[in-house]
Structure formats: structure tokens, C-alpha cells
Structure 1
Amino acid sequence: MSARIEQAAILLMTLGESDAAQILKQLGPKEVQAVGAAMASLGSIQRSQVQEVMGDFLEAVSNQTGLTSESDTFIRNMMTEALGSEKANGLIDRILVGANTKGLDTLKWMDSRAVAELIRHEHPQIQAIVVSYLDPDMAAQVLGVFDERVRVDLIMRIANLDQIQPQALQELNDILEKQLSGNSGNATTSIGGIKTAANIMNFVDSAVEASMMEQIREADEPLGDQIQELMFVFEDLKNIEDRDMQRLLRDVNNDGLLLALKGSDDELKAMVFGNMSERAAEMLKDDLENKGPVKVSEVETAQKEILTLARRLADDGELSLGGGSGEDML
């Protein structure tokens, strides 16, 4: 559990259920699950912890104009997964004043394994459409539930998706809606594609990624090359502009950055140091020198968290990320 998630959980616990529910309404499914799990795991909270969290919160929002809301949808499945049914029911009743998630959108609120089981016996093309509709990190988790042969097949199908008939997508949406007790959804015609496949591959475990790429190239070498070119990995951050690196570092957790840099090359480290204050850079260098051995999995997790943040900021137009080829822009 990251320090920031634990701080968020403590802050919500101090606000009370009603106010906490209003804040949860502003979060996406992954954030709700992460914070909910952190709240469930909190033991006794010391007064000093609360004071520290409140102080950090007041400092963080001192220059903010307010919270923004991207959606009014809420999630029953995520809160139950995070807290367990008994703990979650009381809070869910307060949060879900009127659940209005829709068909395919509802999948984004579900546990990745539950999504995998839901589509396991569907036609591979239907599976590809559903997986491509999910956020890349969740899509990678869903793929991880299947065996390697299926994973490779689905990534190739996703890469070759481009346009889908609105009626077909609406029919799929309606089927999921009945299964999940959601409401009707709006059809869309653009889904999948090589960029979507590349984004999903960015979140696949490194040990699995190499094998998948090898098999994709064996089946379709040009397609494999196109996917590889569009993949954005942690080391590609050294190719972004200084102002974009500075924007990214403003939101990066120091502990996570320390772990992520343990597995990076000197060029990227130098860029990070060069976009920090002299004092902060010296402290980070000292921490890196004094940090003992860490697990590769911990480094990869920290790097993926930073990449997720970078992509989110890029999607919001706050920074620009060059694709793996240095030509595409996210």
C-alpha cells in the first residue's frame, strides 16, 4: 500500500461516512478499490497521524480551485471486493443513491478476474472488444487470467480492431446490461487498434511481455513491430521535455520514485535530478546510494505506477509523452 493511499484512507475515515461518500463519488473505479481496501486494513489511528495527514492535505489543496467530477457513476462490486460484503453494505447504501453504470462501463468497476470469468466462454472477437474497452492496466490484468495462447490471440485481435458497427456494439452492451443489471449504454464506433494493444502491453508483466511479443512477431512480424514502436516504457520518460518531467515529478510519490529509479539507467536518473531542486536531488541521490537491494517486482510496480500517472496527465493535456518511436503523441 502506498503512503498516499494510506493518507487518503485516513483522511476519509476522519471525515465521516457522509462526507467521505461525497468524495468517493469523484473517484474512478481503481481509486475507489484502492482507497476502500486501505480503509479496511487500517488499524488504530494515532492522533499524530491524523494531524500529519490533515496538514499535508491543507498544504496540497492550498493552491487548488476545487474538485472536478468526471462521472456520477458509483460501484457496488468494487466496494464489496475491497471491503467485503458485511463492511461494505452500509457504506454502499449511502454512496449508491442511484447506480447508473451502463453495460460495458460497468465492467470498469468490476474486479479483473470477475471480468475474465464473465467473458471466458464468449467468442474471442467479443472478448477482444470487451478487453479493448477497459483501461489498459485493467485490460492487462484481465489478460493475465487467461493462458498465454489466449493472451497473444486477444492482443492481435485488439490490434486489428478499428471500426465496429454501432448496432453490434449496442447489442453487446445490451447483453452485458442484462447480465449486470445495468442501464442502456451509448454506442460507439471506434474501438481497439494497434495503439490500444500497445497500451495494454505496457501493463503486462515484463516476464510475460517478452514471450507474448515473440509469439506475435512469429504470427505477424509487421504487426509486432508496430505494437512495439507504440509501446511506452519507463525508460522512454528520458525523451520527454523538461517542463513535462517537472509536471510529472510534482505528483510522484518520493518512495515510489526511489524504487523506480533503482531499475533505471544513468541518463534517466540525470534527467530526473536535473528537473528537481538542488536540495531535493541531493537527498534523492543519497537515498539511492543508501537503499539496499530491492525486488525486481517492486521496481516494476513503482515504474508502472509512475507511467500510469504520466498517461493520466497526458490524457488531461497537462504534459506530452512521445511514443516509443518518438513520433506518436499520447
Structure 2
Amino acid sequence: MTGTNLVGEPAELKRFTGPQRAAVVMLVLGPEMGAPIWEELSVDEMKELSAAIAQLGRVPTNVAEHLLVTFSGEMGHMKSLHGSFETTERLLRGVVPEDRLNEIMEDIRGPSGRTMWDKLSNVNEVVLAAYLRSEYPQTVAVIMSKLKPDHCARVLGALPRDFAVDVIQRMLKLDHVQKSVLTEVEQTLRSEFMNNLSRAQTNDPHEQMADVFNAMDRSNEEALLTALEENIPDSAERIRQLMFTFEDLATLLPTALAAIVKNADKRQMALALKGATEEMRELFFGTLTERAAKMLRDDIATMGPVRARDCEEAQSALVALAKTLAERGEIALVDPGSEESMIV
């Protein structure tokens, strides 16, 4: 440390762990000067260092200068550095191959867990079921056999009944699954599902909180939002604007609503419509054939009394399905009356 103008160790440095201190150095070096170091790291070391950079946040200049004194002259004009997922991806791009970059970013941005199966067990069951229902039952059986039992049960419950029974039968007949088959399934999940899931995630806390409120039952949702409006009205208003509710399905283009009806679990849809207005029900019936609409009406009529909470959970599941279809590019969550509507 000879030659430095810094006196002693900055007090702020104490809150930085070893990996975080290394992350500051790599953040300052950038992709070009840091490339030789990245090339010497193992994949696990890259993941650990990348995660530290992504979660770093703001770094005081005196800390960065202390950790990289030879570059202090160049850094003197900086107020701070900022580590984020985007900064991490820019640093790694061009330094590591695209497939390794995707794997690293998926690991630090996607659901938590060391293996693909750990990560998959942390994906919302409705979101996962919406993806799996378009896969071959045999492939789904392999995937389900690798999930934790409690999560597997929830996903099976979110799948269409006949499809779920088919998957269970195949799971019962599963022998030892070849490693090559598992590897292929993992690669498909990573490229087609996890990467899309990671890209769909956002760093905006208001958007994240809107998703949380969407998953709540109505009474808690309204009580908490009302309380939030009294303390931070601007944030409460933004959350309300970002929330996509069951009633918002009525604003979608008919083709989008038809896609939701087609992909929905019929029992779950009947339960959702049991607690809906007659106008909302008619919109759903309008996407079906006369015979299918009659069957759905009969299912609702013969259901008998149900808990309001069960209806609300079923409605939330339909909203989650709509968002999943939108993320996959199959529908657009656009109000037909808005300026973003498309004429086809």
C-alpha cells in the first residue's frame, strides 16, 4: 500500500465481505482489464463473484480507492460506483461464452437453488403448471419426479385433471432415468423456461409488490393498500396501477381471453366464475362453443356453496396464467381501448 494518499482504512470498508471487496475491484477493472482474471476463474467462482457484483449496490469512492489504490487518480472524479444485474451482464459479455453467461445470469437472477431441480421447486406452481401443460406427459413425469413432494403436489393440483392423472400414471412406471435424458431435460428447462423467467423478473420493488398484492385475498389486499395509502400514497397508487386483477381480464381482446380459457383448468375456471359477476361470466362463455358454454354453466350451477376465498384463489390463478401466456408471447395484456391495441 505504499504510495497511497489514503490514511488508514475507511470505516465503511468494514461492512464489505471478502467477495464484495473482490467484486468492487472487478467492477472498477471492467471487462477489458478484468478479462484475464475472469478467464482464470472456475464456473463456481464466476457465479460467486457475479452474484456479489449484482448485489453490491453503491460503493463509496474512498472504499474503491482503498481497494484499488493504483487506480485512485483515475477514480478521483467519481462520486460512486453501482453494481447491478445489468452491470454484471455487461462486464461478463465478451469475456465468457454466451451459454456460460446465460447460465451465470440465470443462477444469480433466477429462482434460488444450486441445481436446476432446486430452482424449479422455488417457481410458483401456477406458473410452472402453465408451462408444463404444453409439454409431453412423459417429459412432465420426469420433471415432476425430481421436484420436492410438496411442490410436486401443488403443481399437479394446478394441471388439468386428465393431464395430471396421465402424468401420475407415467411417474408410477418410471424406472431409472438415463443421465443423458436428464441432461437434455435440464438444458431445455434452462433455455426455454428459466431464461425467460429470469428476463421477466424486474428490479422495480413496486412491480414486485404488485405481484404480491395480486396473490392476496381481497380483504387483506384492500386493507393493506388502504393503510399504505395513508403512509405513502404515491407508492400505493403506483402499485394499484401495476396490479393486474381478475376484473382486468374483461378488458382483453377476445382472442387473448379465448387463449386463457383454452389453457385454463376447467374446474379452476368454473370456481373462479362462481364468484364473478354475470357480465364477467358471459365474456368467458362467449369464447366457448354453445355446448362447452352450457357444460361450464352446469358445472357452476351444480357446484353448490363455496368459500369466497376459494373463488378468489381460483381467480388469482387465472390472472397468473394470463401473465404467463403474455410472458411467452402468446397473448398481449392490452386494453382494446388503449392506444397500444392492434388491428388484425
What TM-score, normalized by structure 1, do the two folds share? 0.46
Asked which structure has the greater CA Rg, the reply is 2
